[in-house]
A = this chain, B = another copy of it.
Amino acid sequence: MPETLDDIMTRTSELLTDRDMAALSTLMAELSTTDAVRVLERVDSSRRAVLFRLLPKDEAVAVFERFDATVRGELFESLRSYDVIALFEELDPDDRVELLDELPSNVAHRLLVGLSPDERALTAPMLGYDRRSVGRRMSPEFVRLRTAATAGDALDAVRRTGSNAESVYLLPITDDHRTLLGVVTLADLATAAPSTPVGDLSSDHPVVEADSSAEEAARLCFEHRSPAVVVDSEQRLIGILTLEQSARILEEAEDEDAARAGGSEPLRRPYLSTPVLAIVRSRVVWLLVLALSAILTVQVLEIFEHALAAVVTLALFIPLLTGTGGNTGSQAATTVTRALALGDVRPRDIAAVLFREVRVGATMGAMLGTLGFVIAGLVYDWHLGVVIGTTLLSICTLAATVGGAMPLIAKKIGVDPAVFSTPFISTFCDATGLIVYFLIAKAVLGV
C-alpha cells in the first residue's frame, strides 16, 4: 500500500505537468477514498484544487469530509464559487459547522445564506453552541422512533428515511414533544423478532447536553463503546454524537495533548504539507516563554556565584541534577495528566495524588541518591558524595510531588493540564533544584 501511494504521487505529478486532464480524471476516479485523501493532502494547494475538481461528485464529498480542518479551509478558498456552493450544500451539518470556523466570517456568512432552507435550519442552531461543545459536533439528522412502534416498524422507518441520516446505528425513542424516552441500536432491531415493541429493546446509552464539553462527551462514548444521544437544556432530543465523530474529537484532543506535552501547538494539518513558517509559529512562542523563564536559573546561579568560584567542581553536576529533576517531574506529570484525561483521577483527589507521589519520589530519590553518593564519593570525595546524594533525594521527592500536583491545579483553574507537563515542570524543577543543590553544598562543604 505505501509503495502504491508513491507510484500514484509520481504518476499524478507527471500527468499534471503534461496537463493530461483526461488521464488524470481516470486516475482520480480509480483511487480509493483513503488514497485520494492522502494524495490531495500531500500536494500543494493549487494542485490540490485542480485534482479535487476531477474527483467524481460523491467521492469529492467523502474525500473532503476526511481532510484535516486547515486543509478544508484552504481548499475551499481556492475552489471556484460555483463548486463551493454545491459542495457546501452536500456536506453533513457537523462537517459544515466545522468548516465555517476555518473560513473568514464574510465568506462563512455568504455560504450560510446560500444554503437551501432545510439545510440551513439544521445548521444554524448548531452555530449557537460553543466551539468546544457537543452542540457543534453532533449530527442533527437521525431517525426518531415512537414508543408504540415495533422492531419491524422501526426497520421500515430506517428503510424509508435512513439514507438522509448521517448514522442509523443509534435510534432515539421520543414522545411528541421530543422528550427522550429511550434508545435502541440498529443491531438490536435487526436481531429482534419484528413484533417486539421498541421500548423492550431500549438499552442504557450515554446522554449528553449540547453545551457540555465535546472532548468529555467523546470519552464517555468510548467508555460506553456507543454513540451518545444529545439533548438541549430542557432534555429534548436534538442530535446524536456518533462514534466516528467521537473518534475525530479524541484524535484532535490527542494531537493537542501530544503537541503541548512537547512544548508546541498542534499543526492541524499533515506535517509534510505544513509550511516551515507555520511550524515555527506553532513552536516559537512556547520556546520563548520557556527560555525567558529559564533566565530564572541564571539568576539563581548568580546568587551562588561565589560558591561556584570556590568549588568549580560543583558546576560539573548542574546538568545532571537539573535533568534528573526535570525527568522525575515530567514522569509524574505525564502519568497524572493521562489519568485526568481518562477520568481515573479528579482535581479533588489531590491529597491522594500528593501522598502517592511523595512516596514514589522519595523511593526513587533514595535509590538514585545512594548511587550518586557512591559514585561521586569514589570519583571525587565523600563530602561531595553526601552533597550529590542528598540533593538527588530532595530533588526527586520535590519534583515528583510538584509534577503530580501541577496537572490537577491546572485542571482546577481551567488550563490545559498537558501544558503544565514536560516543559513547565522542567523549568520549575531546574530553578528549585539549583537552590536546593547550593544550599546543601554550602552547608556540607562550608563554602
Measured CB to CB, the residues of A under 8 A from B are: 2, 32-34, 37-38, 41, 66, 155, 158-159, 162-163, 167-169, 186-187, 189-193, 204, 222-225, 243-244, 247, 251, 254-255, 257-259, 261-264, 267, 270-272, 276-277, 279-280, 282-284, 286-288, 290-291, 294-295, 297-298, 301-302, 305, 308-309, 312-313, 315-320, 322-324, 326-328, 330-331, 333-339, 342-346, 349, 352-353, 356, 359-360, 363-364, 367-368, 371-372, 375, 396, 421-423, 426-427, 430, 434
CB of B204 within 8 A of CB of A222, answer no
Among B186, B191, B372, the residue within 8 A (CB) of A159 is: B191
Instruction: Kindly report which residue of chain B lies nearest to residue A278, judged by CB atoms.
Output: B360
A424→B8 CA distance, assembly (Å): 37
Do A318 and B320 form a contact, CB below 8 Å, given A259-B338, A287-B368, A368-B288? no
Instruction: Specify which chain B residues have a CB less than 8 angstroms from the CB of A32 in the assembled complex.
Output: 204
- Chain A contact residues, majority secondary structure: helix
* New contact pairs (17) apart from A2-B346, A291-B323, CB-CB < 8 Å: A158-B191, A159-B193, A162-B187, A162-B190, A169-B169, A189-B190, A263-B330, A272-B345, A279-B335, A279-B360, A280-B360, A288-B371, A294-B319, A295-B375, A327-B423, A330-B423, A422-B422
Query: Are A335 and B162 in contact, with the CB atoms below 8 A?
Result: no
Q: How many monomers of this chain does the complex have?
A: 2
Chain B residue numbers with a CB within 8 Å of A427 are 323
Q: What's the least CB distance linking A232 to chain B, in Å? A: 18
Task: From the candidates B186, B319, B364, name the one contacting A186 in the complex (CB within 8 A).
Answer: B186
Q: How far is the CA of A359 from the CA of B421 in the complex (A)?
A: 27
Q: CB-CB < 8 A to A333: which residues of B?
A: 262
- Which residue from chain B places its CB closest to the CB of A425 in the assembled complex? B262
Closest chain-B Cβ to A56's Cβ sits at a distance in Å of: 13
Asked whether, in the complex, the Cβ of A324 is within 8 Å of the Cβ of B287, the reply is: yes
Chain B residue at minimum C-beta to C-beta distance from A295: B320
Q: Considering the complex of A and B, which 3 residue pairs feature the smallest CB-CB distances, nearest first?
A: A262-B334, A271-B339, A297-B319
- Nearest B residue to A191 by beta-carbon distance? B162
A316/B305 contact (C-beta < 8 A), A272-B345, A291-B368 known: yes
B263, A261: Cβ atoms under 8 Å? no
A122–B223 Cα distance when bound, in Å, is 26
A193: B residues at CB distance < 8 A: 159
Q: How far, in angstroms, from A270 to B244 measured CA to CA in the complex?
A: 26
Q: Is the CB of B34 within 8 A of A223?
A: yes
A280 to B224 CA separation, bound complex (whole angstroms): 31
